[in-house]
Amino acid sequence: MAVIHHTTLKPTKLELLTSWLPSRPWYRGGAGEPNLAKAGGFRLDDPEGEVGIEFMVVADASGTHPTTYLVPLTYRGAPLDGAEHALVGTMEHGVLGRRWAYDGCHDPVLVAQLLALIEGRVQAQDQNTSDIPDREVTRSYLGDGLAPTDFTTATDDQEGTELPAPLGTTLRLHRVLRPAPDGGPLLPSEATGHVAGSWHMPDGSRARGLFVVLRAGSRA
């Protein structure tokens, strides 16, 4: 299990995201600087114990309407080869030293563990406490085993990030989070897998919605 160190980060994660978020096509904020607050999230464990994996939920109050974003991040002790375009920034960790923070959709370790979560082979972990499962995170999967190496190129659009695989299978991360309607269906009818979770709304209430959807393509 990953160990959560309660220590200093310079700059903080929110400070890094304040600079990075406006560069994303799915960012909905205004012309000014984002006004970010942590709203939720969870972690996954790297089996090798080298890469920190966090799915952060952040709320931004800078635009006309408050917006909540899903921001998967990985934290590494050295640069990830070929991922300069996905670098969010670097931080000085009070225990671990310099850490390179990446948009996790471009990190093969995060993608592999996300697929393992969807398949039910690993469990989401509490964002702030070591060795505590996050039972608010739910998942489902109908299908055969998924090969992480099939999902190679992450592409952003106005709503999220999509990772295609052969035969039309796609893994889609909802970057702009929306609460599920009361009593309404959580999953699209064509989904073969998902990850869902909860977060804090600006008024202090709790919302729940989809984080990730897997759609299977045709079979040859």
β-pair partners for 213:
172, 194
CA distance 194 to 215: 9
Mean pLDDT of 101-121: 96
Closest CA to 111 of 58, 162, 50: 162
pLDDT at 220: 41
Residue 128 has pLDDT above 90, yes or no: no
pLDDT at 40: 97
Give the pLDDT band (50/70/90) at residue 185.
low
Higher pLDDT, 144 or 38: 38
pLDDT at 219: 46
Residue 218 has pLDDT above 60, yes or no: no
Residue 1 has pLDDT above 60, yes or no: no
pLDDT at 192: 92
Residue 8 has pLDDT above 80, yes or no: no
Count Cβ atoms within 10 A of the Cβ of residue 159 and give its class: 0-12 exposed, 13-18 middle, 19 or more buried.
Answer: middle
How many angstroms from the chain centroid is the CA of residue 201?
18
CB under 8 Å to 82, separation ≥6 — which residues? none
Mean pLDDT of 147-170: 90
Write out pLDDT tens, residues 193-205.
999 999 998 888 9
Write out pLDDT tens, residues 35-88.
999 999 999 999 999 999 999 999 999 878 899 999 999 999 999 999 999 999
Mean pLDDT of 133-144: 91
Q: Is the pTM of this model over 0.85?
A: yes
